[in-house]
Amino acid sequence: MGRLFIVGCSGHGKVVADIALKQNKYKEILFLDDNPKSDSCMGISVAGSSTYEDIRPEDEVIVAIGNPSIRQRLQEQYEESGLKLATLIHPQAVIGTNVRIGKGTAIMAGAVINPDAAIGKGVIINTGATVDHDDVIGDYAHISVGAHISGTVTVGQSTWIGAGAVVSNNLCICDNVMIGAGAVVIRDIEEPGTYVGVPARKIR
């Protein structure tokens, strides 16, 4: 049983740390942060920066940074270095049959992922979010607090579905899209950009 290094000790990092504590599977949990506000967070020590070198083969790393481009860059660096990536699932999340979950993904309390969904690597499924059957969630996407993705939806890489947003069934959302809080998506989205409103429309 090795240590867990959580990269990023802001609010998202705290939630990830809470999941790790509840899993009770790590010998020690430590934060890494390039700009720490103190030497500890939640009573957990900040061991160093994101380039910390004393990570052993038995240790695991998870990048707990909301920005998808930074999350992707750091996770890929750790992968290329041969480090083990953690996947953290809150004990009060519901994971259906035949759900596939990629490395470095964090699934928060109250999230529901229904059967035959595929969740990419470095994804955030946030508190109370739902991902229905046969959905495909691309790498480094973020399904925010209370967002609901209906069945047979594809969400592209690095796409952010805002808090409380709803995506209707049988739709595709391309890479690098931001869906605003409370928006309702009823059509395919084929162009990157920011979409808001009911129904969701691109901001010009």
Tokens describing residue 147: 């967002």
* Active site (annotated) includes residue 142: no
- With vertex at residue 170, the alpha carbon angle to CA 164 and CA 175, rounded to the nearest 5 degrees, is 70
Q: Which of 12, 90, 133, 148 is catalytic?
A: 133
Beta strands 28-32 and 44-48 are parallel
On whether the CB atoms of residues 117 and 107 are closer than 8 A, the answer is: no
In angstroms, the CA 87 to CA 121 distance is 9
* Whole-angstrom distance, CA of residue 87 vs CA of residue 122: 9
Alpha-carbon span 204 to 191, nearest angstrom: 12
Give the catalytic positions in this structure: 133
